[in-house]
Amino acid sequence: MRNYLSVSSAVFALFFALAMSSIPQTGHAQDGKPGWSIAIHGGAGTLDPDKMTAEQKAAYEAALQNALDAGKEILANGGSAMDAVKAAIIPLEDDPLFNAGRGAVFTWEGRNELDASIMDGRDRSAGAVTGVTTVKNPILLADKVRIESPHVFLMGEGAEQFASENGLETANPEWFATERRLRSLERMKADKLSALDVDHKFGTVGAVALDMDGNLAAGTSTGGMTGKRWGRIGDAPVIGAGTYADNRSCAVSATGWGEYFIRVGVAQEICTRLRYRFRMDVAAIQSVVPKDADGLPTYIIHASEFPLSAQSAQEEADQVMAEVKELGGDGGIIMVTPEGHALYSFNTTGMYRGRATSDGLNEVAIFAEE
Q: Which residues bind ligand ASP (CB under 6 A)?
A: 43, 99, 202-204, 222, 224-225, 234-236, 255-256, 258
Nearer to ligand ASP, 93 or 339 (CB): 93
Minimum CB separation from ligand ASP for residue 54, in Å?
A: 25
In the annotation, is 178 catalytic? no
Nearer to ligand ASP, 99 or 345 (CB): 99
Minimum CB separation from ligand ASP for residue 100, in Å?
A: 8
Amino acid (one-letter) located at 105:
V
Query: Contact 210/85 with Cβ under 8 angstroms?
Result: no
> Which residue(s) pair with 251 in the sheet?
245, 336
Nearer to ligand ASP, 234 or 265 (CB): 234
Minimum CB separation from ligand ASP for residue 138, in Å?
A: 13
Query: Contact 244/251 with Cβ under 8 angstroms?
Result: yes
Which residue among the candidates 107, 133, 178, 204 is catalytic per the annotation?
204
Nearer to ligand ASP, 227 or 258 (CB): 258
Amino acid (one-letter) located at 151:
H
Opening angle at CA 57, ends 55 and 61, nearest 5: 115
Give the separation between CA 316 and CA 272, rounded to whole angstroms. 10
Nearer to ligand ASP, 43 or 338 (CB): 43
> Which residue(s) pair with 128 in the sheet?
117, 153
Minimum CB separation from ligand ASP for residue 164, in Å?
A: 25
Minimum CB separation from ligand ASP for residue 260, in Å?
A: 9
Give the separation between CA 357 and CA 42, rounded to whole angstroms. 19
Alpha helix segments (H runs only) across the chain = 2-21, 54-76, 81-94, 138-148, 156-165, 173-176, 179-190, 195-199, 258-264, 266-287, 310-327
Which positions are annotated as active-site residues? Answer: 204
